[in-house]
Amino acid sequence: MRKDLLSKKTVSLKPSGIRKFFDVVSEMPNAISLGVGEPDFETPWHVRKAGITSLEQGKTFYTSNSGLKELRTEIGAYMDRKYGLSYDEDDILITVGGSEGIDMMLRAILNEGDEVIVPEPSYVSYVPCVIMAGGTPVTIDLQDKYEFRLQPEELEKAITKKTKALILPYPNNPTGAVMEEEDLQKLVDIIEKNDLYILSDEIYAELTYTGKDHVSIAQFPGMKERTVIINGFSKAYAMTGWRMGYACGPREIIDQMRKLHQYCIMCAPTTSQYAAIEAIKNGDEDIQMMRESYNERRRIVVHLLREMGLPTFEPLGAFYVFPCIKEFGMSSEEFATRLLEEEEVAIVPGTAFGDSGEGFLRISYAYSIENLKEALSRLEKFITRLRQSN
């Protein structure tokens, strides 16, 4: 097949750094992994049961393009009780995971040449989706010294006349960073002054460890009308395989997203939507149990990494820790590859999430404590050897 006959834009996209690493790991069946970006819990049984029951009842047809009305009503109620944000059913679109929402939102707002600011390290799909939607990604290299929180000066510097939108990826995958109320407050004027749209990817909103609830940028005056919140069921309810996401935002944008969604997807999977209704109605206790469990593991991992002398800022969201490995003078990819070869531990290099991830590793703590301890003791052996040989 001649590559020059294919879409130039698609061919030009870089393959995901994760994919490359995945292929190496697949060759090593005995490797223990801290590389997974999804919960280790199975979906709570009552939620699975709701999906099964819907199948038994023969609910095997398409839903409306937007998704089941009951589900959108429940999401509206949830947004109200969590954030005091009021979304009508028509301001909500049920998507196939948060990922689809990201794509649809960008395609709904971008014209050729529009710039979108993408703070990095962050989730792997933002840049490709911006490019495929005809936009130009402008990345911001978030900094370790600010615990990877987006600074107002960094944002201001990245804005040009062509800037259309800002992606706010918090709580963050891969760093575990959060933006607290006072951090977001500092961005509000800049966003307003430059008339930006915001894509706020809040898929990890339920997993924060600040002792306070997650704050959404849409809660600030003047922000809701320019923000599309991307959220979903994958992380909060351990439902990754169900592919259940949703977008809440201004009706003009959601209307355009719905149109695209209708042509591309038709509707999100019906079984998953019925399960999602049960999750959002009766899943608060599940979330709390899982959050507490992640929090214990988070503390252990941070403690062990610091004990072995790796500089590690305290991640207050998601289920990732982002330790710094700059002292070893090798690239993240080289470090991760050697760790895999020598100790059979798979950890994703920070650069899989953007160039500014160089010098860092993404450690997922969505694993059992025994697994975490074993993997980290191997990591310690590895770095002890590195330090001795230097």
Partner 1 sequence: MNKIEKQLLAMMENNSRIAPKEAAVRLGIKEVDVANALKKLEETGVICGYNTMIDWDKTGIDRVTALIEVSVTPQRNKGFDDIAERLCKYPEVDTAYLISGGFDLMLILEGKSLKQVSEFVTNKLAVEDEVLNTKTHFILKRYKDHGTMMDKQKGDKREKVTA
Q: Is 315 in the site for partner 1 (CB under 8 A)?
A: no
Q: Does 36 bind partner 1 (CB under 8 A)?
A: yes
Does 26 help bind partner 1 (rule: CB under 8 A)? yes
CA atoms within 13 A on the CB side of 61: 6
> According to the binding rule CB under 8 A, does residue 133 interact with partner 1?
no
- Provide the minimum distance between the beta carbon of 367 and partner 1 in the complex, in angstroms, as a whole number: 8
Position 22 contacts partner 1 (CB under 8 A): yes
* Residue 194 binds partner 1, judged by CB under 8 A: no
Can you tell me whether residue 122 is helix, strand or coil?
A: coil
Region 147-186 residues binding partner 1, contact defined as CB under 8 A: 173
Does position 33 interact with partner 1 (CB under 8 A)? The reply is: yes
Q: Which residues contact 319 (CB under 8 A, 6 or more apart)?
A: 39, 176, 204, 207, 235, 294, 297, 298, 364, 365, 366
Q: Is 143 in the site for partner 1 (CB under 8 A)?
A: no
Least Å distance, CB 39 to partner 1, is 9
Residue from 72, 115, 114 nearest 247 by CA: 72
b/e per residue, 4-30, with b = 16+ CB within 10 A?
eeeeeeeeeeeeebbeebeeebeeeee
Q: What are phi and psi for residue 124, nearest 5 degrees?
A: -70, -15
Please state the φ and ψ torsions of residue 248, each to the nearest 5 degrees: -120, 130
Q: How many residues appear in the chain?
A: 390
Of 101, 100, 127, which is closest to residue 115 (Cα–Cα)? 127
Our finding on whether 136 is near partner 1 (CB under 8 A) is: no
Parallel, antiparallel or unpaired: strands 245-248 and 92-95: antiparallel
Q: What are residue 208's phi and psi, to 5 degrees?
A: -125, 150
CA angle, corner 350, sides to 346 and 352, nearest 5? 85
User: How far apart (Å, rounded) are the C-alpha atoms in residues 218 and 201?
Assistant: 11
Q: Does 352 bind partner 1 (CB under 8 A)?
A: yes
Residue 376 lies near partner 1 (rule: CB under 8 A): no
Exactly one of 38, 141, 154, 180 binds partner 1 (CB under 8 A); that residue is: 38
Structure tokens at 89: 């059913």
The residue within the footprint of partner 1, chosen from 69, 81, 303, 387 (CB under 8 A), is 303
The yes or no reply on residue 122 touching partner 1 (CB under 8 A) is no
Piece of 155-163, 212-220, 298-306, 316-324 that binds partner 1 (CB under 8 A): 298-306
Distance of CA 107 to the CA centre of its chain: 19
Q: How far is the CB of 296 from partner 1 (least distance, A)?
A: 4
Residue 377 within binding range of partner 1, rule CB under 8 A: no
98 binding partner 1? (CB under 8 A): no
Nearest to 174 by CA among 156, 201, 155: 201
Closest distance between partner 1 and the C-beta of residue 123, in Å? 7
* 65 sits near partner 1 (criterion: CB under 8 A): no
Q: Which stretch binds partner 1 (CB under 8 A): 197-205, 297-305, 316-324, 375-383?
A: 297-305
Of the pair 295, 377, the CB lying nearest partner 1 is at: 295
**CB within 8 A of 369, min separation 6: which ones?**
296, 297, 300
3-state secondary structure of 250: coil
- Residue 318 interacts with partner 1 (CB under 8 A): yes or no: no
Binding map of partner 1 across residues 242-281, x = CB under 8 A, - = no contact: ----------------------------------------
Residue among 109, 124, 217, 363 that touches partner 1 (CB under 8 A)? 124
Closest listed residue to residue 170, CA positions, set 191, 148, 151, 153: 148
User: Which part of the chain contacts partner 1 (CB under 8 A), choosing from 6-14, 77-85, 118-126, 261-269?
Assistant: 118-126
Site for partner 1 contains 14 (CB under 8 A): no
Does residue 308 interact with partner 1 by CB under 8 A?
A: no
Residues that bind partner 1 (CB under 8 A): 16, 18, 21-22, 25-26, 31, 33, 35-38, 40, 123-125, 173, 295-297, 299-300, 303, 346, 348, 352, 367
